[in-house]
Chain A
């Protein structure tokens, strides 16, 4: 009986919502915005894919005529492949570095680069993806549709009539909640499906392997939608006037979507400041000076074959200095990189005060993008270097004419690199299971917040004055 009552309320509410002009605007706006996310994402994906191929081609060409020793001076690229879910949860992939260059030689530190170039004269805007539409447009749409869920009945004087029916307030609330949730979920589902299909058609990328991640992101979008609807119903139960209710909801929106991330970012920069570019450069120079001061100017002696006169004594000293310098400089450089990631992580954690950004963080973790992907990329390239070093060492040891000074090109084997002897970098994406493992705690927090909100909304709705 209770379920039937709620179902009747649900059907009635759905009819009312769907019949309004407001809903028509909301449906079209949401569906179109979501569908549009596919196109710039597809362009970006294609660009990165082509760039990726170019880099691989250039690297293969460089290897063809290369020698074992010469390889140590070769700038070896490691490319983060284009992210297939750019249209759904971009996770900062368009702006963060996607290429890592490193050499085995100790002459220069690794370098990060990204596809974005210095030619663009367009203002920066956030990339268009599902999460942006959910955060900005879906929230506003939910507030606009739901803000007068209670006041319309008060104003139409029908609330007394409604309360007098054999339906509990809890069932009434359930019916309304499900009606709003369903009506708003429709354009989201339509838009999301259109977006996925468009992206797949434009890029030729099969989305079946990432269907699980996509489904999780969509589910999260519907989860945050439920939170928006509950928030709107909570305020609607407390505030009698529709316009005032909507105003308060909009202030909440501003605080959640605009103020929270801005303040979080500023706070993170203050709480976890980064060393300036000049400070980093000076520290690296100091490391070099300190190591070479110990050798009183006897380091940096590379005499080629002429060094055989004293058994390459000078070169051995220089090699030790170069290796120590590089190890310390690289460690410091990685520390700076870790600092940047930590600052960015802190900003995101602080922004998670807002449910919209909490969900964004969960979506990024589940999908395997965001800072998790950056961290994984940096770890994998580090391991790749270890593999490269082992490969070159093994090749060099087979040449009796090599002086085996690792990794100084003039003192290593001059033999040609064997075809296919060097593995190119292959990035392993994070799996959904890894994403779940990284986000289960936050999911629990989100669940707790949702249940608390649901309880508070029910209480407010049930206890509100009739009219």
Chain B
């Protein structure tokens, strides 16, 4: 192989391709669409980031204002991934937050960044889509007649006469088309980067730059594969029309149809959903069992089983979570009894939470197996593989989501450990902001003692409590207590959730199998092309 010959072919391909209407139309279309898609992606990301910041502020505020430990539920928010600007992946789909609770182990995130439920496309357009679909298509449209046009225009004879070897021509055309396609790719990527950097959406740290580098390298490998495919098909086809038709079939069946069909089939199954529903019934039965046990414990405590002047008439149940309690204006003995019952409830609840988590994970294993089959079949499609690798680099893959969930579970353990260290589970502070020093049983507002209240006169006493002057005194006390910071849960030493994105190295390691597959496809196509370029074959169509 002679480098100067290859270089001459490269220059000729670039010059001819640059001047061709095909390249001009596709190139500008790609750049234009990239800018439009990037503008939209930037807006979406900015609004997600703002939402995330606001939710964080609100979460912090509600932590600071918590009055009981049962009401303390740190909200862990998954930060929107900056590189989702290039590959949305699962970033907007799988939820963004989880509230840490003693009674459940995090398995799914709630809330999402999906946007409009009724929209045509739900936040799934990004630069990777433009590269995968448009640039990939353009690669095929530029490469399909690499060899066939030499035959059709009879320039093959000239090349054969000039002593150009088929392999030199092949490599020259492949490299020339690669250089050509890098022009719109470079322009698209540069304009997107400039847009994001100008709006300060991208942190330009080493990890982000490394990931960006990985992303661009992936785009290059993908484009290279498509150019190789186009040139190889052109090599083996009799004419341009046939070459293009063949490429279209390959593109339609392998690039599009295979992943569409496989992923549609892999999505869900009736049997799986029935299993999941069965598990949910089982979990509900365990939780009902815990509730019944709680009711039995309550019946065994005289101060909890019957109303009197010793209990609290001020109870705020949380409709969203039956475990969150807030009571006030009870007596020390009432609170002691409640603490005993609540401690047992929490122990049962933690055990049930673990059982429920294990049961659900057990069922999810089957679902994952089915999904792996669908993903495996889809790997036939290079555009699908490109999307997966891009997601790994961008940190928007399903594995990144699961990594975040894993971090949430670890934090929950730390949080529970912190509460155990502080021994809050067996203390009053779990359910009331009253202390021994600030105790004020409700009969006190009527200038009575708890012992003065009997089951017979309790209703009348409560009626009096709701009338002035008792009701006014109680409302004033409630207002003062609400403002009293000493009644808040001390959160200064609470463990803080700190989540960092996986390092670029981990992203690289994760995408190695798919990258290896793309390179294997390269090798396969190259071997096929080399096999076709046997001496006996008339690659240039020089013979009449």
Instruction: Name the interface residues of A247-286: CB closer than 8 Å to any CB of B.
Output: 247, 250-251, 254-255, 258-259, 261-266, 268-270, 274, 276-278
Q: B116 contacts A274, CB within 8 Å?
A: yes
Find the B residue at minimum CB distance from A314.
Answer: B466
Contact B371 A120 (CB under 8 A): yes
In contact, B33 and A263 (Cβ under 8 angstroms): yes
Who on chain B is nearest to A108 by CB? Answer: B319
**Residues on A with beta carbons closer than 8 Å to the beta carbon of B39:** 266
What residues of chain B lie closer than 8 Å to A303, measured between beta carbons?
A: 466
Query: Could you say which of B55, B141, B264, B462 contacts A247, with CB atoms under 8 Å apart?
Result: B141
**Residues of B205-239 whose CB lies within 8 A of A:** 239
How many angstroms from the CA of A261 to the CA of B240 in the assembled complex? 30
A33 to B252, CA, bound (A): 11
Contacting residues of chain B (86-118) with chain A, CB-CB under 8 angstroms: 89-90, 93-95, 108-110, 115-118
A237 lies within 8 A of chain B by Cβ: no
The answer to whether B260 touches A97, judged by C-beta atoms less than 8 angstroms apart, is no
Query: Which residues of the partner chain B approach A25 to less than 8 Å between Cβ atoms?
Result: 249
Q: Say which residue of B22, B248, B273 sits within 8 Å of A140 (CB atoms).
A: B248
Q: Which of A46, A50, A121, A277 contacts B368 (CB 8 A)?
A: A121
Shortest C-beta distance, B530 to chain A (Å), equals 25
Across the interface, do B240 and A243 meet the contact criterion of CB distance under 8 Å? Answer: yes
- Contacting A258 at CB < 8 Å: which of B133, B273, B398? B133
- Is A458 positioned at the interface, with any CB of B under 8 Å from its CB? no
The answer to whether A305 touches B459, judged by C-beta atoms less than 8 angstroms apart, is yes
Query: Which residue of chain B has the shortest Cβ distance to A144 in the bound complex?
Result: B245
Closest to A246 in B: B244
Known: A44-B268, A50-B273, A309-B466. A136 touches B51 (CB 8 A): no
What chain A residues lie within 8 Å of B270 (beta carbons)? Answer: 43, 46-47, 50
Does A126 interact with chain B (Cβ within 8 Å)?
yes
Q: Is the CB of A259 within 8 A of B33?
A: yes
Q: B-facing mask of A433-458, CB < 8 A → 1, else 0?
A: 00000000000000000000000000
Residue of A whose beta carbon sits closest to that of B54? A278
| Complex interface residues of chain B between 384 and 412 (CB less than 8 A to chain A) | 384, 387-388, 398, 402
| Shortest distance between the CB of A331 and any CB in chain B (Å) | 20
A137 nearest in chain B by CB position: B252
**Which of chain B's residues have a CB closer than 8 A to the CB of A148?**
241
Asked if A243 and B116 make an inter-chain contact with CB atoms under 8 angstroms apart, the answer reads no
A119 contacts across to B, CB distance below 8 A: 108, 276, 364, 367
- Contact indicator A97/B117 (Cβ below 8 Å): yes
Cα distance A277–B462 in the bound complex, in angstroms: 42
Asked if A414 is at the interface (CB within 8 A of a chain B CB), the reply is: no
Cα A44 to Cα B241 with chains together (Å) = 41
Which residues on the B side are within 8 Å of A344 (C-beta)? Answer: 116, 118-120
Given A47-B270, A121-B371, the answer on whether A265 and B121 have CB atoms closer than 8 Å is yes
How far does the Cβ of B133 sit from chain A's closest Cβ, in whole Å?
A: 6
Say yes or no: is A365 at the interface (Cβ < 8 Å to chain B).
no
A54 sits at the interface (CB 8 A): yes
- Closest beta carbon of chain A to B383's beta carbon, Å: 11
B33:A309 contact, CB within 8 angstroms: no
**B260 A126 Cβ-Cβ under 8 A:** yes
Give chain B residues whose Cβ lies under 8 Å from the Cβ of A95: 117, 122
- Please indicate the chain A residues that have their CB under 8 angstroms from the CB of B43 in the complex: 269-270
Q: How far is the CB of A318 from chain B (nearest CB, A)?
A: 13
Total A-B pairs in contact (CB under 8 Å)? 197
Closest Cβ–Cβ distance, residue A393 to chain B (whole Å): 24
Q: Which residues of B contact A274 (CB under 8 A)?
A: 115-116
Contact between A242 and B241, CB atoms less than 8 A apart: yes
Minimum CB–CB distance from A134 to chain B (whole Å) comes to 13
For the complex, give the distance between the alpha carbons of A54 and B280 in Å. 12
B94 touches A118 (CB 8 A): yes
| CB closest chain-B residue, reference A282 | B54
Q: How far is the CB of B322 from chain A (nearest CB, A)?
A: 14
Is A209 part of the contact surface with B, judged by Cβ < 8 Å? no
B-chain residues with CB within 8 Å of residue A251 when the two chains form the complex: 22, 25-26, 29, 141
- A116 to chain B: closest CB distance in Å? 9
State in angstroms the CA–CA spacing of A310 and B459 once bound together.
Answer: 15
Interface membership of B433, Cβ < 8 A: no
Q: Which residue of B lies closest to A347 (CB)?
A: B120
The answer to whether B263 and A125 touch across the interface, beta carbons within 8 angstroms, is yes
Q: A76 vs B466: C-alpha distance in the bound complex, in angstroms?
A: 34
Residue of B nearest to A257 (CB): B133
Q: Please name all residues of chain B whose beta carbon is closer than 8 Å to the beta carbon of A308 when the two chains form the complex.
A: 463
Does B36 touch A at the CB level, under 8 Å? yes
Q: Mark interface residues in A110-138 (1 if CB within 8 Å of B CB, else 0).
A: 00101000111111111110001000110
Whether A33 contacts B257 in the complex (CB less than 8 A), given A47-B270, A124-B93, comes out as yes
B348 near A: Cβ within 8 Å?
no
Report if A262-B244 is in contact (Cβ < 8 Å); known contacts: A40-B267, A278-B51: no
CA distance A277 to B277 in the complex (A): 31
Q: Which positions 135-155 of chain B face chain A at CB distance < 8 Å? A: 137, 141, 144-145, 148
Contact, CB under 8 Å: B95 / A242: no
Which chain B residues border A125 with CB–CB below 8 Å?
259-260, 263-264
Given the known interface contacts A54-B277, A243-B144, A247-B141, the answer about A122 and B118 at a Cβ–Cβ threshold of 8 Å is no
Known contacts A46-B270, A343-B119; is A276 also within 8 Å of B51 by CB?
A: yes
Which of A46, A250, A268, A269 lies in contact with B141, CB distance below 8 A? A250
Q: Give the complex CA separation of A437 and B169 in angstroms.
A: 61
Contact in complex: A29, B253 (CB < 8 Å): yes
Q: Which of B316-344 contact A (CB under 8 A)?
A: 319
Say yes or no: A266-B54 contact (C-beta < 8 A), given A306-B466, A340-B116, A344-B119.
no
Q: Across the interface, do A247 and B274 meet the contact criterion of CB distance under 8 Å? A: no
Say yes or no for A374: interface residue by CB 8 A criterion.
yes
**A402–B116 alpha-carbon span in the complex (Å):** 43
Q: Is the CB of B463 within 8 A of A306?
A: yes
Q: Who on chain A is nearest to B391 by CB? A: A123
Interface flag for A22 (CB, 8 Å):
yes
Inter-chain contacts of A92 with B (CB < 8 A) = 118, 120
Task: Report the separation of the CA atoms of residues A47 and B271 in the bound assembly, to the nearest whole angstrom.
Answer: 9
Q: Is A39 an interface residue (CB 8 A)?
A: yes
The A-contacting residues of B in range 411-458, CB under 8 angstroms, are none
A274, B253: Cα distance in complex, Å: 38
* Docked CA distance A463–B375 (Å): 52
Listed in ascending order, the chain B residues whose CB lies under 8 Å from chain A are 22, 25-26, 29, 33, 36-37, 39-40, 43, 47, 50-51, 54-55, 89-90, 93-95, 108-110, 115-122, 124-125, 133-134, 137, 141, 144-145, 148, 239-241, 243-245, 248-249, 252-253, 256-257, 259-261, 263-270, 273-274, 276-277, 319, 364, 367-368, 371, 374-375, 384, 387-388, 398, 402, 459, 462-463, 465-467
A29-B253, A112-B117 known, 15 other contacts, Cβ within 8 Å: A46-B270, A121-B368, A122-B374, A124-B93, A128-B264, A144-B245, A241-B240, A243-B145, A243-B240, A251-B25, A258-B133, A262-B33, A266-B37, A305-B459, A340-B116
* 25 A–B pairs (Cβ distance < 8 Å), ordered by A: A22-B245, A96-B117, A118-B94, A121-B368, A123-B384, A125-B259, A125-B260, A125-B263, A144-B245, A148-B241, A151-B241, A243-B145, A254-B29, A255-B29, A258-B133, A262-B36, A262-B121, A264-B120, A265-B119, A306-B459, A306-B466, A309-B463, A340-B117, A340-B118, A341-B118
By a beta-carbon cutoff of 8 Å, the part of chain A in contact with chain B is: 22, 25, 29, 33, 36, 39-40, 43-44, 46-47, 50-51, 54, 92, 95-97, 107, 112, 114, 118-128, 132, 136-137, 140, 144, 147-148, 151, 241-243, 246-247, 250-251, 254-255, 258-259, 261-266, 268-270, 274, 276-278, 303, 305-310, 340-341, 343-344, 347-348, 351, 371, 374
